[in-house]
Structure 1
Amino acid sequence: MNSRKLIFSLLLVIPLYGRAQQKPQYTQYIFNNYLLNPALSGMENYTDLKIGHRQQWQGIKGAPTTTFISANMVLGDKYLWKNALSLPENGDPPMGRLYTQNYTASPAHHGIGLIGMNDKTGPLSFLDLALTYAYHLKLNNALNLSLGTAVGISRASINVNELNLENPSDPALSNAGKAQLNPDLSVGLWLYGARFFAGASVQQLLQREIGFSSVSNGGKEVAHFFVTTGYKLFIDDEISAVPSVMIKKVGNIPISYDANLKVSFRDRFWVGGSYRKQDSFAALAGVNFSNVFNITYAYDYATSRLRSYTSGSHEIVLGFQLDNRYRVRSTQRMW
């Protein structure tokens, strides 16, 4: 096969990219919905820092790998509040029934944050950086509504050193080594209380064109739509369960559905499960080592046709709750 045909074969991934999921896939978004929705910026009265890595489809060469860092915080000390988020002085389980009974919505405040993500699939890489902002309204004594936006930049590139070409000087490759920079915009809203949350967001609103060949039109970014909701149930005073669902729509591919369940013991450690329709089952676990540090892990078992070629996907996230003056142990209120 000559180099022109080979580069055209390679560039087929760009039009396909334009019709399929483009943003990274996460299993542990239920512990960090901020990755999908900027409206969560500054929802807590501490700085919420998370560092994560995902290896998708272990065993398949060139499968997606994603590394991210995210941090968000309340803007301004005067918006810090002390309420039922604080640990009870008598040693009762944090975030338990007493927490929900005494819960008070946070005052109106602003939140800011930063997300950095590197996603690589074969020779194709994306580096995204975004600044986020949210304004949190107090609807009543027990309910908040936040509106948020993320503004950033996305860098797309192909590593030509990973391509085995018969003629590297082919004119079709003239733009392959040039990274592309595009602006990025996302918006979202989040409704939350002591036991309930619901949110909706849209990523990649600008839908810019992407292409690496001087003889091909390439593909185009597509918007990603997310809708989610969940509710906290108490099994007893020490054990709680949070079922949740996520609906996702990307381009022309069918709607994706996730069903999740997290079971927590005294907010010290938790286990969970997730099912993504016609894609995978996942097992999740996490430990709060202190009111500053926690770690979570997820393993995905593929149920699609890929299960014959992969041993599964792995995802690990380290969480840090900085300036946690009220010693909150459970991240993001109820998750």
Structure 2
Amino acid sequence: MKRLCKIFMLLSSIGLFTGQAVAQQNIQFSQYIFNTLSVNPAYAGYKEEWFAQLALRNQWVGIQGAPKTGQISIDGILDPQTTKHGVGVQITSDKLGPQSSSSVTLNYAFRIQLDGADTRRLSFGLGVGAAQYGLNGNALTSVDGGDGTIPTGGSSKISPDFRAGVFYTTPYWYIGVSALNLLNNSKSVEDYRRSAGIADNITRTRHLYFVAGSLVNVSTDLRIRPSMMIREDFKGPTNADFNIMAIFNDKIWLGGGYRTSIKAFKKEYQNTDVTSQAALIGIAQFYVNERFRIGYSYDYAISKLNGYQSGTHEITVGIAFGKAPKSSICPRVF
């Protein structure tokens, strides 16, 4: 059964023999709400202090070749007095069965102050970088021997990465739109079959992200933070995350979320049966002190995949350093 699950996962993720989209989906983090830089370059410098985060995600535990992702990011501001210029860097490593990818992205955000009290900011962000995509042909077995579309040994490709975003924030709500992998575009099936380099076809497709959230002060000791993220690649199902967190004494965060896939636009895949990727998510975060926090999340699949794996684990560690922000909006919860 594990072997069958592995084959199903590989075929659905890279589409080697199905004739569907052959490009790879962007990685996902359940705890994106703690570091929106992973999906929007305009977020760089939002906290108005230097902030570093480590995220480790082990998805679908129990399935051979299931996704494993690690990411390190650092962002902050270049001008502490005006806080107009935010910068950030991300280093990401991802592995899914025979596929692997590593990327480095540099982000810049220009932050515009919209009121005298500096409670509202509009940021425009750009990100540039490079990603190396690889495929281990030895980990694939074709139905017919000698399939020319499967490389002998390993195959890899380095591709440029370009992203852009807009992020608007106030003390009590935020909204952002971004586009990632703007220079990438999946090839047609015929181009794929003719390609001598299979790594050309596992680069990630262009993605559009929409994020929004708010903060509700219930009492001096309790705040509620609902949020959502919609991810669209205009080829497969639209993904949506809905989250809500309760913040106790600005130290303990407890909450959860619901992730699902929906048919938002008319696409080719809608002529076939698409299995929902629905999951329930439990999230906890604890501030050891004002500048150091630890987070953990668990994803419980409620799709047909549930019977073949034991969930997804994700750990994040964040630390702020340097000069504390001058703004009275503290702590920053977006």
Q: Aligned partners of 1:222 and 1:177: how far apart in 2?
A: 22
TM-score between both structures, scaled by the size of structure 2: 0.80
Instruction: Provide the identity percentage.
Output: 30
Rate the CA distance shift 1:311–1:219 in 2: closer, same or farther, 3 A.
closer
Give the corresponding residue for 1:289: 288
SS for the counterpart of 2:46 is coil
Alpha-carbon shift at residue 159 of structure 1 (Å):
2.7
> Which residues of structure 1 form unaligned runs of 5+?
1-8, 81-106
Contact 1:249 1:255 in 2 (8 A): yes
Give the corresponding residue for 1:235: 218
Q: Does 1:194 align with 2:193?
A: no
C-alpha distance after superposition, 1:226-266 (max 9, x if no partner): 11111101111111001112121123222222211011111
Give the corresponding residue for 2:87: 112
Contact 1:54 1:65 in 2 (8 A): yes
Rate the CA distance shift 1:160–1:234 in 2: closer, same or farther, 3 A.
same
Q: Does 1:66 align with 2:69?
A: yes
Rate the CA distance shift 1:48–1:161 in 2: closer, same or farther, 3 A.
same
Give the corresponding residue for 1:147: 124
Say which of 233, 246, 263 aligns to 1:250: 233
Q: Is the deviation greater in 64-73 or in 208-217? A: 208-217
Contact 1:15 1:219 in 2 (8 A): no
Matched letter for residue 182 of structure 1: S
C-alpha distance after superposition, 1:116-156 (max 9, x if no partner): 11110011101111000000001113210000011011101
C-alpha distance after superposition, 1:185-237 (max 9, x if no partner): 11111000111111011111112457696287846642111111111011111
Q: Does 1:138 align with 2:121?
A: no
Contact 1:292 1:324 in 2 (8 A): no
Matched letter for residue 164 of structure 2: V
Say which of 21, 26, 31 aligns to 1:23: 26
Contact 1:54 1:313 in 2 (8 A): yes
Contact 2:14 2:22 in 1 (8 A): no
Give the corresponding residue for 2:248: 265
Alpha-carbon shift at residue 44 of structure 1 (Å):
2.0
Q: How does 1:1-335 map to 2 (within 5 A)?
A: 12-13=15-16, 18=21, 22-76=25-79, 79-80=80-81, 107=82, 109-140=84-115, 141=117, 142-163=119-140, 177-208=154-185, 214=196, 218=201, 221-277=204-260, 278=276, 279-325=278-324, 333-335=332-334
Rate the CA distance shift 1:12–1:246 in 2: closer, same or farther, 3 A.
closer
Q: Aligned partners of 2:331 and 2:28: how far apart in 1?
A: 21
Contact 2:223 2:246 in 1 (8 A): yes
Alpha-carbon shift at residue 176 of structure 1 (Å):
5.3
Bigger radius of gyration, 1 or 2?
1
> Which residues of structure 2 form unaligned runs of 5+?
1-10, 261-275
Rate the CA distance shift 1:202–1:14 in 2: closer, same or farther, 3 A.
farther
Q: Aligned partners of 1:166 and 1:19: how far apart in 2?
A: 18
Q: Aligned partners of 1:168 and 1:128: how far apart in 2?
A: 33
Q: Which structure ranks higher in relative contact order (CA pairs < 8 Å, sequence separation ≥ 6)? A: 1
Taking only aligned residues, the RMSD between alpha carbons, in angstroms, comes to 3.1
Q: Is the deviation greater in 173-182 or in 220-229? A: 173-182
